[in-house]
């Protein structure tokens, strides 16, 4: 996973330490599956920085045991719990830093919306471990859904979703259409039309700058900043045409 700025190295080290400790915990590792932007970046599917750790959690996982084991790891790594969800395994953790630098990371274990997801053991070079991860087809489908789902749930927009969709299409990756149908009750073609409307209506150049400038290397960000929105729309339109044939 790239580190766009020297100051990002400290955050990456904290991510790696925490991920390694979570994977080395036998129970947590058995009951969870790595996913999201950090997973994709560490597997080489994405060429951007990512700041959080996200996992799917098996429904049979003992929440109290998970909480206990996570708490032990947090203490061992000398992290501070800045915020913790009362209902889910979602933590905002704080680590020491100098003034003005990033000093928090989020880690989540979610048991909802796993239907249709497919997992496989993958080697993560940066932690020298094998871990159960969402397949790229699963990640891509979930990323397409996340773009509109965040807004439907809490009116938030994550332009990194647009960037990831753009990159996945550009690289020729496939998505699992069954996951889209299971979660949205729409065909992939119908849902992709919704994605286009969402990008057209909700994504602005200001959003792109605010969300992506710290996740991409400067030259890459500058080259893509003004064209990301339209290019993504074109890539999604091309996929709709393929589905129509």
One digit per residue, the tens of pLDDT, for the chain of length 245 reads 999 888 899 999 999 999 999 999 999 999 999 999 999 999 999 999 999 999 999 999 999 999 999 999 999 999 999 999 999 999 999 999 887 788 999 999 998 778 899 999 999 999 999 999 999 999 999 999 999 999 998 888 999 999 999 999 999 999 999 999 999 999 999 999 999 999 999 999 999 999 999 999 999 999 999 999 999 999 999 999 999 98
The CA distance from 82 to 226, in Å, is 36
The CA distance from 143 to 145, in Å, is 5
Query: Domain spanning 1-134 has what CATH number?
Result: 3.10.450
Q: What would the pLDDT profile of 105-127 be if each residue is shown by its tens digit?
A: 999 999 877 889 999 999 999 99
Q: What would the pLDDT profile of 209-218 be if each residue is shown by its tens digit?
A: 999 999 999 9
Instruction: Identify which of 10, 3, 12 has the alpha carbon closest to the alpha carbon of residue 97.
Output: 10
pTM of the model: 0.94
Instruction: Identify which of 158, 240, 140 has the alpha carbon closest to the alpha carbon of residue 199.
Output: 158
Parse the chain into domains and list their residue ranges: 1-134, 135-245
């Amino acid at each position: 996973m790239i580190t766009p700025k020297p100051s990002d190295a400290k955050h990456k080290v904290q991510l790696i330490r925490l991920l390694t400790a979570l994977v080395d915990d036998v129970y947590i590792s058995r009951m969870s599956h790595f996913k999201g932007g950090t997973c994709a970046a560490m597997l080489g599917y994405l060429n951007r920085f990512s700041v959080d750790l996200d996992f799917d959690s098996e429904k049979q996982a003992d929440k109290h045991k998970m909480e206990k084991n996570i708490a032990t790891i947090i203490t061992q790594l000398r992290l501070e719990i800045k915020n913790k969800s009362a209902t889910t395994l979602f933590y905002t953790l704080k680590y020491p830093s100098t003034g003005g630098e990033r000093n928090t990371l989020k880690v989540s274990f979610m048991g909802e919306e796993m239907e249709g997801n497919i997992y496989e053991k993958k080697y993560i070079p940066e932690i020298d471990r094998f871990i159960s991860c969402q397949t790229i087809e699963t990640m891509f489908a979930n990323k397409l859904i996340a773009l509109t789902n965040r807004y439907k749930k809490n009116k938030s927009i994550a332009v990194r979703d647009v960037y990831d969709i753009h990159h996945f299409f550009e690289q020729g990756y496939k998505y699992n259409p069954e996951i889209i149908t299971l979660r949205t009750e729409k065909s992939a073609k119908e849902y992709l039309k919704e994605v286009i409307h969402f990008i057209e209506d909700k994504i602005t150049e200001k959003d792109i700058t605010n969300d992506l400038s710290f996740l991409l290397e400067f030259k890459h960000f500058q080259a893509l900043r003004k064209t990301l929105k339209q290019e993504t729309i074109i890539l999604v339109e091309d996929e709709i045409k393929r589905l129509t044939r």
